[in-house]
C-alpha cells in the first residue's frame, strides 16, 4: 500500500510538471498516466516458434531489386560506377556517377584468443582495388561487411517518447534517432479497431499513434539517405495474423525498401553485404517476433528464425549473455544466427498484483557507458567472450544518455573496428548533460525521485 501511495503521489507531481511544460501536437495539455498492471514487454501466450529442422526457400512475388546482378557493376579506374535505379512508383532513372562501395582487408583484434570485433570482409585480387569513400551506415569500412557481421545500435521501444509518461523509453523522435546512428527500431504494436497502433503494453497506458504514420517517417528518411540500411523489429503483442502488417508497410512507402531473404532461416554467412543491399535498394530488414509467415509474406521476416535474444527487460546489472528466446535452441544453431543483446536496465516494481518494468534512471549513464561494471561495453565484451562474436544488435533505452553523448555508438564502433565521431550525437542544438535537452533536466530529477522513493519502500 505504501508503494502504491508513493507511486501515485509521484505521478501527480510528474503530471503537474508535464502540464506546466509540455503540450501535445493537438494543442492540449497532457497528464502523466500511472500504469495499473503490466505483464512482460512482449506476448506471453498463444505464441509459437518456427521449426528449426527445415529450411524454407523464399520466392519473392515482386522484384524489389534496383540492380538484379551485383556482378554487373564494375569500378572504373577512378573507383566510380554508374547504375540505373527504380523509383518507388516503378519508373526508371539513371543515377549520377558514384564511388563504388568496396571494403577493406580483414582486421581483428583478440582478447585471450577470442575475437573482439566484427571482422571486415576480405578478398584477394591481382589488381589494385579502388578506395571507397561512400559511408554505408556511417562508415565506408562497413560497405563490404555482411549485415550479420556488424553491431547495430537499436532503440528499445523507439516510438515511445511521450514526455512525463512512465512508459516512455526514449527522449528523441525516430528521425533524430536515425540521424544519430540508430540502425534498429524496435517497438510493440497493438490492433485497435482494425488499425495497428504503437502502444506500450496497453493503449490505455501509452498510445503514440498508428504504425503507418511511424513507418511513413522511416520510409521518408530512407529515401533521403540512400546509403543506409535499417532493421525494424515489430512486437506482435496481440498475436494477430501477419496480414495486419501489410497495409501499414505498403501505404507508408516502406515496401519500396524491404529486404526479402532467400531462405528461412538465414545462417550468418547467407546475409548480403551492406553494399549489396544498398545497390538493390533492399535497405529495410523488417521482422515480426510472432506469427510471421514468410511463405505468404516473404519480406516480413520471422524474428526467431533469423536471430535470438538475451533476457528481455533485464533487471540484473551483470547482463548475462544467456539466450532467452527462442527457448531450447541448440548452441551450435545459435552460433549460426544473428543475436540481440537487450541492454536496457529496468526497475521491476511488483506489489498487490501490480507489475511494472520501467527504465532504471539512476544508473542510466553507467548502463549506456563505454566501460565499467554494467556498461554497454561490459555487456558486449561478455557476449563476445561467450559467443565468439559481438552481438548483431545492441538494444538500449535513452540512447542519447551515457558516459558522454551517444556513448553506445562508441561501443558499437569499437565492436565494428571503426572510428566514432563523438560530436555527431545527439539530437538538435541546445542539448547538454549527456544529450538531454536542457528543459528535460528537471523532469529527469523527478524520475530519479520516483526511483529513489520506490526503492526505499521496497527495501524498508
Q: Catalytic residues, which ones?
A: 156, 200
The maximal CA–CA distance of the chain, rounded, in angstroms, is: 75
Q: Which residues contact 352 (CB under 8 A, 6 or more apart)?
A: 1, 4
Cβ contact 147:337 at 8 Å: no
Cross-strand bridge partners of residue 192: 195
What letter would DSSP give residue 292?
Answer: -
Cα(292)–Cα(258) distance, integer angstroms: 15
Cα(300)–Cα(289) distance, integer angstroms: 10
**How many other CB atoms are there within 10 angstroms of residue 283's CB atom?**
24
Cα distances (Å, whole numbers) of residue 1 to 102, 302, 352, 409, 441? 62, 42, 8, 41, 30
Could you write out the DSSP letters of every residue in 276-324? HHHHTT--EEEEESSS--TTTSTTEEEHHHHEEEE-SS---TT----EE
What letter would DSSP give residue 128?
Answer: P
User: Strand, helix or coil at 150?
Assistant: coil
Torsion of CA 363, 367, 373, 379, to 10 degrees: 160
Amino acid at each position: 500500500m505504501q508503494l502504491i501511495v508513493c507511486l501515485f503521489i509521484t505521478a501527480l507531481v510528474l503530471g503537474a510538471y508535464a502540464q506546466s511544460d509540455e503540450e501535445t501536437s493537438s494543442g492540449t495539455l497532457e497528464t502523466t498516466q500511472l500504469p495499473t498492471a503490466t505483464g512482460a514487454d512482449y506476448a506471453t501466450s498463444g505464441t509459437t516458434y518456427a521449426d528449426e529442422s527445415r529450411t524454407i526457400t523464399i520466392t519473392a512475388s515482386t522484384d524489389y531489386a534496383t540492380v538484379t546482378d551485383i556482378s554487373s557493376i564494375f569500378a572504373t579506374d577512378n573507383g566510380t560506377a554508374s547504375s540505373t535505379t527504380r523509383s518507388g512508383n516503378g519508373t526508371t532513372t539513371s543515377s549520377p556517377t558514384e564511388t563504388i562501395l568496396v571494403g577493406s582487408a580483414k582486421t581483428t583484434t583478440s582478447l585471450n584468443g577470442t575475437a573482439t570485433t566484427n571482422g571486415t570482409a576480405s578478398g584477394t585480387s591481382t589488381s589494385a582495388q579502388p578506395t571507397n569513400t561512400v559511408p554505408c551506415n556511417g562508415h565506408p569500412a562497413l560497405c563490404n561487411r555482411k549485415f550479420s557481421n556488424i553491431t547495430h545500435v537499436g532503440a528499445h521501444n523507439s516510438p515511445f517518447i511521450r514526455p512525463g509518461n512512465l512508459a516512455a523509453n526514449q527522449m528523441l523522435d525516430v528521425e533524430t534517432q536515425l540521424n544519430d546512428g540508430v540502425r534498429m527500431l524496435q517497438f510493440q504494436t497493438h490492433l485497435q479497431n482494425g488499425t495497428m497502433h504503437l502502444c506500450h503494453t496497453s493503449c490505455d497506458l501509452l498510445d503514440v499513434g498508428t504504425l503507418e504514420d511511424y513507418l511513413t517517417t522511416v520510409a521518408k528518411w530512407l529515401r533521403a539517405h540512400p546509403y543506409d540500411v535499417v532493421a525494424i523489429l515489430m512486437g506482435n503483442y496481440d498475436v494477430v495474423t501477419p496480414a495486419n502488417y501489410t497495409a501499414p508497410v505498403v501505404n507508408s512507402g516502406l515496401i519500396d525498401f524491404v529486404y526479402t531473404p532467400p531462405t528461412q532461416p538465414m545462417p550468418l554467412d547467407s546475409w548480403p553485404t551492406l553494399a549489396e543491399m544498398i545497390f538493390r535498394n533492399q535497405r529495410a530488414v523488417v521482422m515480426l517476433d510472432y506469427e510471421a509467415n514468410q511463405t505468404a509474406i516473404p519480406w516480413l521476416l520471422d524474428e526467431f528464425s533469423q536471430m535470438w535474444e538475451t533476457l528481455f527487460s533485464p533487471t540484473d546489472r551483470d547482463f548475462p549473455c544467456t539466450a532467452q528466446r527462442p527457448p531450447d535452441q541448440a548452441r551450435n544453431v545459435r552460433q549460426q544466427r544473428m543475436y540481440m543483446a537487450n541492454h536496457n536496465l529496468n526497475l521491476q516494481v511488483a506489489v498487490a498484483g501490480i507489475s511494472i518494468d520501467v527504465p532504471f534512471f539512476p544508473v542510466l549513464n553507467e548502463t549506456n557507458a563505454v566501460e565499467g561494471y554494467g556498461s554497454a561495453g561490459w555487456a558486449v565484451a561478455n557476449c563476445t567472450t561467450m559467443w565468439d562474436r559481438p552481438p548483431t544488435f545492441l538494444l538500449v533505452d535513452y540512447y542519447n544518455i551515457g558516459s558522454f553523448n551517444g556513448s553506445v555508438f562508441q561501443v558499437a564502433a569499437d565492436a565494428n573496428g571503426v572510428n566514432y565521431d563523438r560530436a555527431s550525437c545527439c539530437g538538435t542544438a541546445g542539448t547538454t548533460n549527456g544529450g538531454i535537452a536542457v528543459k528535460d533536466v528537471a523532469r529527469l530529477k523527478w524520475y530519479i525521485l520516483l526511483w529513489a522513493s520506490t526503492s526505499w519502500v521496497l527495501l524498508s
